[in-house]
Amino acid sequence: MARVAGVSQSTVSIVLAGKAEGRVKPETGRAVREAAESLGYRPNVAARNLRLGRTRTVLLVVPTLASPFFGAVYTGAARDAAERGFGVVVHPWPDDANPARSPVDIEAIDGVLASSIAGGVAGLGDVPLVVMDSDPADPAPAVNFDVTGGMRAITAHLAELGHRRFGHLAAAVDAWTFRVRGEVLAEAGPLIRRTTAIDVAAARAAALDLLDRPDRPSVLVCDDDLIAAGAYKAARTLGLDVPGDLSVTGFDDILVATAVEPELTTVRLPAEELGAQAMTALLECLDGHHPPGVSLAGELIVRGSTAPPANG
């Protein structure tokens, strides 16, 4: 670059890295910075990455960008990363557009944070890795929600209201978090279950199937807030009042939980905290340590969608 623009190469590097203190004349430093400024010079990231052998960049791998949940995970992770001078880029995976290519081959990175990856994390490659919201049986360090506790809070709340038999709208996704939800619910008492895509229209159809029958359950426990929105629609279709005729619960406490009416009783999952803790763990790994797994408690948020069953 600006070896033309004043003096010469290593000096430029030193100045622009902010290591000039006591090693470069203030005057020279200023000259370098001015030259860089006027030339619009930006150091070549690829070259730096190669030389240093590290990138100070972490890849956040998420199943989809269509859920605001992962925005919160990112926020937590990025905040924690910034404190240590790391940047975060995001990539959905597996990728319909490009099933073969692993996200770690797209960019030069130091490590990967993977959230809620249903199919498991094999095939990502051999990078330092921390998984979130994933099966604790995974070999990688894991930061998880206490899904069991969250679901138990829901069943306890419903039992206290007097509900005895649950309808379960289960997500048709083969992920640890949903398996656990189903298991815990099954332990809590008799239930009838339908699976559905995580999608309002599909959930509505599944809910109709569960409700349009003589022995319909007094409550629909939904694996996800979006599924609960579908349950609302089914209830309305059948002329059932929520929560008078039918209680509904969600899971996650994403945005839609307060956008619907009545607002949804759900379990708030601390997504930002998840991202932050996972980033902390990953940076530990990069320092050569082996951080322990973490489990984050959810919080039952009782809103207007649950009430005692109609007939006692």
Binding site for a copy of itself (CB under 8 A): 40, 42, 44-47, 49-50, 55, 57, 59, 64-68, 70-72, 74-75, 78-79, 81-82, 87-92, 95-98, 101, 103-108, 125-126, 200-201, 226, 229, 232-233, 236, 255-256, 258-261
Asked if the peptide bond before residue 94 counts as cis, ω within 30 degrees of 0, the response is: yes
10 binds, among a copy of itself, DNA, none (CB under 5 to 8 A by kind): DNA
Q: Which residues of 167-205 are buried (b: 16+ CB within 10 A; e: fewer)?
A: bbbbbebebbbbebbbebbeebeebeebbbbbbbebbbb
Q: Does 17 contact DNA by CB under 7 A?
A: yes
* CB 122 to DNA: min, Å: 22
174 binds, among DNA, a copy of itself, none (CB under 5 to 8 A by kind): none
Please report where in the chains the tokens 């807030």 appear, as a residue. Answer: 225
The residue (of 228 and 307) whose beta carbon lies closer to a copy of itself is 228
9 binds, among DNA, a copy of itself, none (CB under 5 to 8 A by kind): DNA
Token pair for residue 235?
A: 């209830």
* CB 286 to a copy of itself: min, Å: 16
* CB 119 to DNA: min, Å: 27
C-alpha distances out from residue 40 to 6, 15, 18, 37, Å: 15, 16, 18, 5
Q: Does 295 contact DNA by CB under 7 A?
A: no
The residue (of 9 and 98) whose beta carbon lies closer to DNA is 9
* CB 46 to a copy of itself: min, Å: 4
The residue (of 43 and 87) whose beta carbon lies closer to DNA is 43
User: Measured between alpha carbons, how far is 89 from 76 in angstroms, rounded to an integer?
Assistant: 13
Orientation angle between helical segments 147-161 and 176-187, nearest 10 degrees: 30
Q: Contact region for DNA (CB under 7 A) — 27-35, 73-81, 210-218, 259-267?
A: 27-35
Interacting positions 53-92 with DNA (CB under 7 A): 53
For DNA, the binding residue among 43, 189, 244, 292 (CB under 7 A) is: 43
Q: Which residues of 276-291 are buried (b: 16+ CB within 10 A; e: fewer)?
A: bbbbbbbbbbbeeeeb
DSSP run (H or E) holding 130: strand 129-132
1 binds, among DNA, a copy of itself, none (CB under 5 to 8 A by kind): DNA
Contact 312, 165 (CB under 8 A): no
For DNA, the binding residue among 50, 82, 201, 259 (CB under 7 A) is: 50
Q: Does 52 contact DNA by CB under 7 A?
A: yes
Q: Does 18 contact DNA by CB under 7 A?
A: no
Own/partner contacts of 67-73, CB < 8 Å, gap of 24 or more, are: 67/254, 68/254, 68/255, 69/252, 69/254, 69/269, 69/271, 70/115, 70/116, 70/271, 72/271, 72/272, 72/275, 73/115, 73/132, 73/271, 73/272, 73/274, 73/275, 73/278
* CB 100 to DNA: min, Å: 17
Sites of contact with DNA (CB under 7 A): 1, 7-14, 16-17, 19, 22-25, 27-29, 43-44, 47-48, 50-53
